[in-house]
A and B are shown apart, each in its own frame.
Chain A
Amino acid sequence: MDSKMDCKTAERCMTARIDGELDAERVRALDAHIVECAACALRWQEDQQIRSLVRAAGEAYARDQRPVVGSGRILLDERRRRTEELAAVGLLRRLAAAAAVVLMGTGILVATSIDRAVPDSSPTSLRAVAVESTASSMDGLIHADNTILLALSGSWGTRT
């Protein structure tokens, strides 16, 4: 880079220079420019003063009263949230189990009534259909129950 720096570039470099983020070559060029240019020398001084002022505000904030942040409250809220989630899961499982029992009962009733209505000599295909339909309903329910549990366990994250 050319060792001569113009005012616009100098202005852009000042912030990085204050922050120690300017490379050595541009530091030398900027310093040389500031020595030669009165306007940029003044701007450089102002920038440093402004930065000192910003730091002073940070120090004043640090001296102020401490914030009240309750890690206990956060943990308590989280425990409550998880308890509620677990309760919801429990309720869903109970509902799924109840639905399964009802369907099983219905299936047995249907199978029994078919058994009574159809004479022994007739083909047994109707009975088989009823039993199969009950079994497939059960599979569907178990699948739905697992899906619900998977979705909920995903929402809990990895923590227990």
Chain B
Amino acid sequence: MSPRPAGNAAEVIERKPEDDQILVDRILGGDEEAFTLLVERYSDRTFRLVRGIVGDWHRSEDVLQEVFVLVYRKLNTFDRRSAFTTWLYRVAVNAALKARGRHRNQRLQVLDEGFDQEQKASVASQRLELSELAEKLLRCLPAHLRAVILLREWEGLSYDEIGQVLSCSRGAVEQRLHRAMVELRRIWKPLGKEEWLHGL
């Protein structure tokens, strides 16, 4: 039942939670260099998660900046009952979902692109890159379901940890992941199955 390591093993260097706590203490003590270290340590992972939820690169960069501003300002409210990363992900997911909400119309546009029947038929012949296909697949998911599957698959969080990030129960996490999978299966069948079978 242990959490699986996140997607890119080279990128994710596992650190002891106490390292983060020391860094947090230093920042709270006014050490600005410690904050720079924290940003360097977590900006890539946080950005990947934010981008996974928000979609657009530049908007995700803005959200990332917003996340670290919030981290700096609200660090004194981090109660240390969970790991620092859990708290950071909570801030990041909330900011990303908020940003996503501001651009809901854009999402509808993406959905239209994703579900267009003609496009579905031509996807197989276009031989999309695997990652493009995956990105398209994810974009078709509602943002709150996307967040939960990305926390699991990309960040390697356990169901309990995801529950802490999203402030919901373990059962709710299971439920959301199940709904995400049902939705992904529904989208994936016409969208990418052929690609997969052709060995991309």
Contact with B along A34-77 (1 / 0, CB 8 A): 00000000010011011101111111111100111111111101
A157 at the interface (CB under 8 A from B): yes
Q: Among B36, B44, B76, which residue has its beta carbon within 8 angstroms of that of A157? A: B76
- Give the A-B contact count at a CB cut-off of 8 A: 135
Of B79-87, B98-106, B145-153, the one with at least 4 CB within 8 A of chain A: B145-153
Of A13-21, A97-105, A120-128, A139-147, the one with at least 4 CB within 8 A of chain B: A13-21
B residues within 8 A CB of A51?
A: 153
Q: Using a Cβ–Cβ cut-off of 8 Å, how many residues does chain B contribute to the interface with A?
A: 55
B48 at the interface (CB under 8 A from A): yes
Q: Among A16, A46, A54, which residue has its beta carbon within 8 angstroms of that of B149? A: A54
Contact check, B130 vs A69: say whether CB atoms are below 8 A apart: no
**With contact pairs A71-B68, A72-B36 given, residues A15 and B174 touching in the complex (Cβ less than 8 Å):** yes
A160 at the interface (CB under 8 A from B): yes
**With contact pairs A67-B64, A160-B30 given, residues A57 and B51 touching in the complex (Cβ less than 8 Å):** no
A residues within 8 A CB of B134?
A: 53-54, 56-57, 60
B164 at the interface (CB under 8 A from A): no
Contact with A along B60-73 (1 / 0, CB 8 A): 11001100110011
Contact check, A62 vs B181: say whether CB atoms are below 8 A apart: no
Q: Among A14, A68, A72, A157, which residue has its beta carbon within 8 angstroms of that of B181? A: A14
Tell me the complex Cα distance, A71–B144, Å.
Answer: 28
A12 at the interface (CB under 8 A from B): yes
**With contact pairs A20-B4, A51-B153 given, residues A69 and B47 touching in the complex (Cβ less than 8 Å):** yes
B2 at the interface (CB under 8 A from A): yes
Tell me the complex Cα distance, A54–B188, Å.
Answer: 11
B43 at the interface (CB under 8 A from A): yes
For chain A, residues 124 to 160, give those with C-beta under 8 angstroms from any C-beta of chain B.
157-160
Contact check, A69 vs B2: say whether CB atoms are below 8 A apart: no
A residues within 8 A CB of B28?
A: 158-159
A residues within 8 A CB of B44?
A: 62, 66-67
B residues within 8 A CB of A60?
A: 130-131, 134-135
Tell me the complex Cα distance, A14–B4, Å.
Answer: 16
Name the CB-closest residue of A to B32.
A75
Contact check, A15 vs B185: say whether CB atoms are below 8 A apart: no
Interface, chain B (partner A; CB < 8 A): 1-2, 4, 6-8, 11, 28, 30, 32, 35-36, 38-40, 43-44, 47-48, 51-52, 60-61, 64-65, 68-69, 72-73, 76, 130-131, 133-135, 137-138, 149-150, 152-154, 158-159, 174, 177-178, 181, 184-185, 188-189, 192-193, 196
Interface, chain A (partner B; CB < 8 A): 12, 14-16, 19-21, 43, 46-47, 49-51, 53-63, 66-75, 77-78, 157-160
